[in-house]
């Protein structure tokens, strides 16, 4: 009887150690500061930030379409031009450029929109087109 109790105690101790090791490995892989996937993490953040920019530009262009309808009705012209980064960070578009991101709008027109972006911690320069598709 004594032997069975000691065996159970040893097994439960091993289980706790194994669980602690597994949790430590998962934490290492998930935390971006130490992860071997750190570069991929920042490339993914850059991709998301470019898509956010494209959405903000779509809102800007939609405002231009509404403005043309008002112009037709009132005769007062207000031209909404190309999408520019300086305008996208302002209200009501409120685009937030991530810290460490380098974004450049190459062509801000609706039909030919192109922008590039790269995160300082990432290794890829990503491009987004007028349809909102990311190209590496």
Rounded average pLDDT over 96-108: 94
Whether the pLDDT of residue 73 is over 90: the answer is: no
**What residue has token string 């450029």?**
97
Count of CB atoms within 10 A of residue 111's CB? 7
CA 93/CA 80 separation, integer angstroms? 14
- Residue 14 confidence (pLDDT): 79
- Dihedral of the alpha carbons of 50, 55, 60, 64, in degrees to the nearest 10: 130
Whether the pLDDT of residue 131 is over 90: the answer is: yes
* 3-state secondary structure (DSSP) of residue 80: coil
Whether the pLDDT of residue 51 is over 90: the answer is: yes
Give the dihedral sign, CA 113/91/103/84: positive
Mean pLDDT for the chain overall: 83
Give the dihedral sign, CA 32/36/40/43: positive
Residue 45's closest CA among 101, 129, 115? 101
Its pTM stands at: 0.68
pLDDT-derived band at 119, boundaries 50, 70, 90? very high
Sheet strand arrangement including 101-107: 101-107, 114-119, 126-128, 134-135
Alpha helices in 1-136 (DSSP H): 2-30, 38-74, 85-88
* Structure confidence by residue, pLDDT tens digits, 14-42: 788 889 899 988 887 777 666 678 888 89
pLDDT-derived band at 49, boundaries 50, 70, 90? very high
């Amino acid at each position: 009887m004594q032997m069975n109790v000691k065996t159970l105690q040893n097994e439960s101790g091993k289980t706790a150690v194994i669980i602690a090791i597994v949790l430590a490995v998962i934490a290492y892989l998930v935390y971006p500061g130490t992860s071997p996937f750190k570069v991929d993490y920042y490339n993914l953040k850059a991709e998301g930030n470019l898509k956010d920019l494209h959405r903000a530009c779509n809102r800007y262009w939609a405002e231009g379409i509404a403005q043309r309808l008002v112009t037709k009705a009132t005769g007062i012209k207000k031209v909404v031009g190309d999408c520019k980064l300086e305008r996208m960070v302002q209200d009501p578009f409120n685009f937030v450029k991530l810290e460490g991101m380098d974004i450049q709008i190459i062509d801000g027109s609706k039909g030919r929109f192109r922008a590039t972006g790269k995160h300082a911690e990432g290794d890829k320069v990503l491009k987004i087109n007028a349809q909102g598709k990311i190209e590496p």
